[in-house]
Amino acid sequence: MREKLVIIGNGMAPGRMLEHLLERSPERYEVTIFNAEPRVNYDRIMLSPVLSGEKDYEQIIIHGDGWYIKHGITLYKGHKITKIDRTAKTVTSEHGVTESFDKLVIATGSVPFILPVPGNNLPGVLSYRDLDDVNAMLVAAQSRAKAVVIGGGLLGLEAAAGLKARDMDVTVVHLMPTLMERQLDPAAGYMLQRELEARGIKVVTKATTQAIIGQHRTEGVMLADGRVIPATLVIMAAGIRPNASIAKDAALETKRGILVDEGMRTSDPDIFAVGECAEIGGEVYGLVAPLYEMARVAAARLTGDDSATFVHNDTPTKLKVTGIDLFSLGDFADGDDRQEIVLRDATAGVYKRLVLKENRIIGTVLYGETTDGAWFNDLKKKQVDISDMRDTLIFGQAYQGGSPLDPMAAVAALPDDAEICGCNGVCKGKIVGTIKEKGLASLDDVRAHTKASASCGSCTGLVEQLMTLTLGDNYNPAAVQPMCACTSLGHDDVRRLIKAKGLKTIHAVMQELEWKTSCGCAKCRPALNYYLVCDWPGEYADDYQSRFINERAHANIQKDGTYSVVPRMWGGVTNSKELRAIADVVDKFAIPTVKVTGGQRIDMLGIKKEDLPAVWADLGKAGFVSGHAYAKGLRTVKTCVGTDWCRFGTQDSTGLGVRIEKFMWGSWTPAKVKMAVSGCPRNCAEATCKDVGVVCVDSGYEIHFAGAAGLDIKGTEVLGLVKTEDEALEVIVALVQMYREQGRYLERIYKWTKRVGVAEVRRQVLDDVERRRAFYERFVYSQKFAQVDPWSERVSGLHKHEFRPLAAVGVAQAAE
């Protein structure tokens, strides 16, 4: 019989502990988790990008619902533990659920320190620790009003930057003379303050908060000198405290945190503690690297490995604010027994300081240029005598040996045990060895197998350099290839910065991202137009001048300069009325060629451009909408006749195909999307070579994706099997929305899938129910503003490219 393991808390440390535990001994424990938050495990390091808009909640989930189901783990969401009975070996939640345990792990994290000042409980006063706090801030930020952040440490500054990105007027109030005084020396703190002020964030240092003022809600912050800073939102970011109350109530030994030994055991040998709630050797930790080390040790001890011990290592500090490069490590205080080496470049905004003791690095502060952080960290950790390179040390690894090295050569010169990813403690040798052993070829694969750059992402550049060194020409990341000659940025960076900076026009993108040309080109303008349409539905006005001619004309241009028009036939189904209307249009406009397409529709070829408005007007009177045969969007959903007529049909493939097409038509995608639904495994609709396909079987609907049947020939990947038609629709819509949000412009689904990985798509769309639903709902919202077709009152505007958004009622009618 398996032992019972109960975990209180579901943060990053217990999540990593479970990963190690399942690798070591997957069948040893029956695992139950009680999580006070009403959700699954997510990456708290990435809360700041969620606040700023660079990411959303679904993108920072670590373990979705499917992961817990797969591993047989019981997860109680929204269940705060109120009692530990050590004698009976049980825990009880606030909702009355009691669970027995053989082994217990406490991972209750920390609680924010709320300044004991008048008004600290007024509405509008928030802390910054979890997703609920972020969601509350996002609601408050919609007012575009004034915010005050109390505390100029890591969390405070990340909160300030996020709120500023949401267009709030932000002031940071900090007690000490310089920002981040625990991690930075005064010079770097000054440079950081200057950079934040240049971004429009006000900073008040040497300021003591006296009170939060307001009648019924927050109106401002009063300082000790009498100044009042107006604010409708106040963020308390003045520090955290280990959350050890439940352990103290259970008579476990505590001081600041829950006291644990080097094996993460508390004073009760059957109870462990990991994360921010634990205190070991007089230290409590808030950075993720030592928390993950605790997780590794606890997992080892839980599987009987008593040799695993926690060893303190200094952890680098990095600020997660886009565009601010900052690195600090170790002891950089002044002292008579130490020396320093300093480099300042005011023009470039660079400051570097190394603190030495007995010719060994004991502290490092880097601002503005941090690429040598890993190397300095390695020298400090190994206590290397730097006497022979003292004169060139501050210039970094590339300048050792007398002549500058290429940056790639500098990475190659790092030893195998040099730490690349500080958050997860991953060294160079593990990354290179795993790439070779498993044949990894993408950054996402490396993240999945090694965890390198999977947390804060600041080491991504180093990881990619290692991949280039290891794979040579076999690694050629499109992310670092410029979109075009107008910019040095790749598609991924452009899209990330559009969200992070809240850029909502093409001109704003070009100005803020420093485009090299005045108006862009035929490569970048359509891409920017798509990204803005997708990322800001309802806010960005689609710029048809930035679309290709086929999309502007709502028809396909042919080699002789005429056009072809393809009206939509839902799921390939038509009737006599529609056929007569097409015949009438063919006769009226003397259209020379009429052809049935491979997508089960009718194509009329040889139409003059000047006739297009009238052709569409006549087709529209018959109820036709565009087949979007020209579009970077959903083109067709090919179907077979299914159970209505076929003696082999297992499901209503025609009905599902029509439903999918009516639900999804009109929304732009990075490249064309073709679908198919086959009613049985005989696959008459050829669903297994489409971008998205469904093969109906007796037990439900088998979802396929990432096929190709053009210049590239590729069979689909199987996403998974669902039981109902409603589930099939939700999964397909979520899959397409994930592709819409993450695909690069003109990148087909099969190429996108190759880049992100089949397993990652399956994890986000099929396994993680919450994330899937969020993708689905974002698609539904975007459909309110989907592009529609040029007829009725808009026909006269066709050549002026005047189009209006589709109203919500239009979507509802289309889906009927």
Residue closest to 79 by CA, chosen among 34, 42, 15: 34
Q: What percent of the chain has pLDDT over 90?
A: 57
pLDDT band for 815, please (50, 70, 90 cuts).
Answer: very low
One-letter amino acid for residue 364 of the chain: T
Q: Contact at 8 Å (CB) between 584 and 614?
A: no
Fold of the domain built from segment(s) 3-110+242-302:
FAD/NAD(P)-binding domain (3.50.50)
Predicted confidence at residue 805, as pLDDT, reads 29
Q: Contact at 8 Å (CB) between 12 and 43?
A: yes
| pLDDT tops 60 at residue 789 | no
pLDDT (mean) for 562-569: 92
At residue 663, the 3 state secondary structure works out as helix
Q: Give the count of alpha carbons within 13 A of 40, CB side only.
A: 20
Q: How far apart are CA 233 and CA 468, in angstroms?
A: 46
CB proximity list for 88: less than 8 A, separation 6 or greater: 100
DSSP codes of every residue in 651-710? S-HHHHHHHHHHHHTT-B-SS-EEEEEESSTT-TT-GGGSSEEEEEETTEEEEEE--EES
Predicted confidence at residue 408, as pLDDT, reads 64
Q: Is 411 exposed, middle or buried (0-12, 13-18, 19+ CB in 10 A)?
A: buried
Q: What does the pLDDT look like over 104-159, one tens digit per residue?
A: 999 999 999 999 999 999 999 999 989 999 999 999 888 889 999 999 998 999 99
Predicted confidence at residue 406, as pLDDT, reads 56
One-letter amino acid for residue 356 of the chain: L
Q: What does the pLDDT look like over 445-468, one tens digit per residue?
A: 888 888 888 776 777 878 888 888
CB proximity list for 444: less than 8 A, separation 6 or greater: 755, 756, 757, 760
- Residue 549 phi/psi, 5-degree rounding, is -55, -40
Strand order in the sheet with 563-565: 556-557, 563-565, 602-607, 593-596
Predicted confidence at residue 236, as pLDDT, reads 95
> For residue 178, how many other CB atoms are within 10 A of its CB?
20
Predicted confidence at residue 337, as pLDDT, reads 85
Predicted confidence at residue 217, as pLDDT, reads 93
| pLDDT tops 90 at residue 332 | no
Predicted confidence at residue 732, as pLDDT, reads 96
Least confident of 184-188, 319-323, 419-423, 678-682: 319-323
CB proximity list for 16: less than 8 A, separation 6 or greater: 291, 292, 295, 296
| pLDDT tops 90 at residue 275 | yes
DSSP codes of every residue in 102-169? SEEEE---EEEPPP--TTTTSTTEEE-SSHHHHHHHHHHHTT--EEEEE--SHHHHHHHHHHHHTT-E
Predicted confidence at residue 477, as pLDDT, reads 61
Residue closest to 811 by CA, chosen among 784, 791, 778, 774: 784
pLDDT (mean) for 52-66: 85
pLDDT (mean) for 779-790: 72
- Binding-site annotation, residues for siroheme: 684
DSSP codes of every residue in 23-59? HH-TTSEEEEEEESSSS-EE-GGGHHHHHHTSS-GGG
pLDDT band for 489, please (50, 70, 90 cuts).
Answer: confident
Q: Contact at 8 Å (CB) between 508 and 500?
A: no
CA angle 558, 560, 565 (to 5 degrees): 35
CA angle 417, 474, 760 (to 5 degrees): 80
Predicted confidence at residue 798, as pLDDT, reads 33
Q: Which two tokens stand for residue 719?
A: 């996403």
Q: Contact at 8 Å (CB) between 180 and 192?
A: yes
Helix 131-141 vs helix 154-165: crossing angle, to nearest 10? 40
pLDDT (mean) for 361-378: 89
> For residue 83, how many other CB atoms are within 10 A of its CB?
13
At residue 606, the 3 state secondary structure works out as strand
Predicted confidence at residue 208, as pLDDT, reads 95
| pLDDT tops 60 at residue 809 | no
Q: How far apart are CA 639 and CA 676, in angstroms?
A: 6
Q: Which residues of the chain form CATH 3.30.413.10?
A: 634-783
Q: What does the pLDDT look like over 492-528, one tens digit per residue?
A: 889 888 988 889 999 899 988 889 888 888 889 999 9
Q: Which range among 120-124, 484-488, 760-764 has the greatest average pLDDT?
A: 120-124
Q: Which two tokens stand for residue 642?
A: 């299914």
Q: Which residues of the chain form CATH 3.50.50.60?
A: 3-110+242-302, 125-238
> CA 716 from chain center: how many Å?
26
Least confident of 13-17, 34-38, 263-267, 347-351: 347-351
CB proximity list for 185: less than 8 A, separation 6 or greater: 332, 353, 365
Q: Contact at 8 Å (CB) between 283 and 15?
A: no
- Residue 355 phi/psi, 5-degree rounding, is -105, 125
CA angle 128, 55, 675 (to 5 degrees): 150
> CA 309 from chain center: how many Å?
33
At residue 284, the 3 state secondary structure works out as strand
Residue closest to 617 by CA, chosen among 807, 795, 353: 795
pLDDT (mean) for 704-726: 90
Q: Contact at 8 Å (CB) between 421 and 463?
A: yes
Q: How far apart are CA 368 and CA 64, in angstroms?
A: 36
Predicted confidence at residue 787, as pLDDT, reads 55
Helices (H) and strands (E) in the chain, counts: 25, 40
Q: Which two tokens stand for residue 173?
A: 């109030």
pLDDT band for 401, please (50, 70, 90 cuts).
Answer: low
- In Å, what is the CA distance from 233 to each residue of 54, 321, 500? 21, 21, 21
At residue 621, the 3 state secondary structure works out as helix
Q: Which residues of the chain form CATH 3.90.480.10?
A: 550-631
One-letter amino acid for residue 622 of the chain: A
> For residue 756, how many other CB atoms are within 10 A of its CB?
18
DSSP codes of every residue in 321-366? -TT--EEEEE-----TT-EEEEEEETTTTEEEEEEEETTEEEEEEE
| pLDDT tops 80 at residue 313 | yes
Residue closest to 341 by CA, chosen among 362, 321, 358, 356: 356
Distance between first and last Cα of the chain = 54
Q: What does the chain come to in residues?
A: 816
pLDDT band for 403, please (50, 70, 90 cuts).
Answer: very low
Predicted confidence at residue 480, as pLDDT, reads 53
pLDDT (mean) for 553-576: 89
Handedness of CA 331, 336, 338, 343 (dihedral sign): positive
Q: Contact at 8 Å (CB) between 315 and 290?
A: yes
**What value does the mean pLDDT of the chain take?**
88
Alpha-carbon Rg of the chain, whole angstroms?
Answer: 30
Q: Helix, strand, coil: what percent of the chain each, to 5? A: 35, 20, 40
For 550-631, the fitting CATH number among 3.20.20.140, 1.10.10.10, 3.90.480.10, 3.30.420.40 is 3.90.480.10
> For residue 793, how many other CB atoms are within 10 A of its CB?
7
- Long-range contacts of 256-261, Cβ-Cβ distance < 8 Å, separation of 24 or more: 256/284, 257/284, 258/106
- Binding-site annotation, residues: 640, 646, 680, 684
- In Å, what is the CA distance from 241 to each residue of 108, 279, 664, 735? 11, 11, 49, 41
Residue closest to 376 by CA, chosen among 355, 348, 349, 391: 355
Q: Which two tokens stand for residue 676?
A: 């198919």
**Domain 634-783 belongs to what architecture?**
2-Layer Sandwich (3.30)
DSSP codes of every residue in 161-192? HHHHHTT-EEEEE-SSSSTTTTTS-HHHHHHH
Q: Contact at 8 Å (CB) between 747 and 669?
A: no
Predicted confidence at residue 476, as pLDDT, reads 62
- Binding-site annotation, residues for [4Fe-4S] cluster: 640, 646, 680, 684
Q: Which two tokens stand for residue 457?
A: 């992402």
Superfamily of domain 125-238: FAD/NAD(P)-binding domain (3.50.50.60)
pLDDT (mean) for 356-372: 91
What is the pairing mode between strands 271-273 and 103-106?
A: parallel
How does DSSP classify residue 532?
H
Q: Which two tokens stand for residue 126?
A: 């928030």
Query: The whole model's pTM is what?
Result: 0.62
Q: How far apart are CA 637 and CA 635, in angstroms?
A: 7
